Structure 1
Amino acid sequence: MVAFSALVILSVLSAALSTPVPRALPTPVSVATAKTYLSELTVAVDSNVPAYSRDLFKTWDIISGTCDTRETVLKRDGTDVVTNTACAATSGNWVSPYDGVATTLASDLDIDHVVPLKEAWLSGARDWTAAQREAYANDLTRPQLVAITDNLNESKGDKDPSGFVPPLASYVCTYIRAWITVKHFYALTIDSAEKTALTKYINAC
């Protein structure tokens, strides 16, 4: 498995700066590919040495004009989204895919990192450069950033699928495929409980 290299970081940053703003949440790999990717992930014990800090992952980057990553995801994941001159969403309609909860208030939404920043740190990102971690935290190309209900995001915290999957059963398979897609792309490890959970869920897809 190829490690997350300087070449990858350049491609991620280049994509963020040069490609059109995405119109839809990126699609995870297929179930069959996810099973292959899962078999290729390295199983290892999580490590928090050195200790994780949220400040080690810079968010949010400017993606287009004055619009940062959060604002870009809100526009992508909503309908009839209206923004002001600072690109902040002033109105729109959103449905959180994790729980099916609808809202017209952008303030009700958090941008979830499917594979949380701390989870990434524990499974390999502690060895990355600051630029690599910034690219990861603002990645709009992989299925890694999703606008979801803020209290649900708080409930998820930094849990992996052994401790959290979306409460909306119809979205669990998509979530698991997205998790595996991200972990594989960034060559992050998985712990044994995480692999057991991923295997159970992907086999049920």
Structure 2
Amino acid sequence: MSSASVMLENPEIRARISPVTVAQYHQFAEFDEHGHRTELIRGILIEKMSKSPLHASVARRLFQILQDSLPEGHILLREDPLTFADSEPEPDLAIVRGVEEDFVTRHPSTAALVVEIAVTSIALDREKAAIYAEAGVAEYWIILPAERRVEIYRRPEGSSYRESRVMEGNGSIACEALPSLQVDLAEIFG
């Protein structure tokens, strides 16, 4: 457990934290005072992780796969914000209903599919499942490239998903939220 997590376990310290609202977060510069990128999760600024070559490679491959089979009336986002009640995550990939013009003055508030690629961020990505479920994200995938495995979360209800499963091997994922979308695991992992 990191020293920051240990500190957050202390009620006296936790009581002194200043939560940040989404509106306040929108007023911040893109980078913090140290030049780091952040995202807002549950009112707390979280520093974004740097991308490993494995992460970047899987992200590029998956972006192309999804882009090639994107259903009409949807757009594919890459590391773009989704605005929720107390969070503004920037998932690796997200498919949202609408057209580009719908998001000129606001970020999407939900998605049909969100994908996070977890090389070093698995704990945070699993925590984000509750945030995505609350926002009505129909389907959430956590890609684990080192294990060649995908965690799939479907059917959001409250702050959890009613269905979760793990896919590995040489199978394919049929996206329940976007039935025309089917992804072969071998294509994702190369």
More helix by share: 1
Higher relative contact order (CA 8 A, sep 6+): 1
More strand by share: 2
Normalized against structure 2, the TM-score is what? 0.31
Normalized against structure 1, the TM-score is what? 0.29
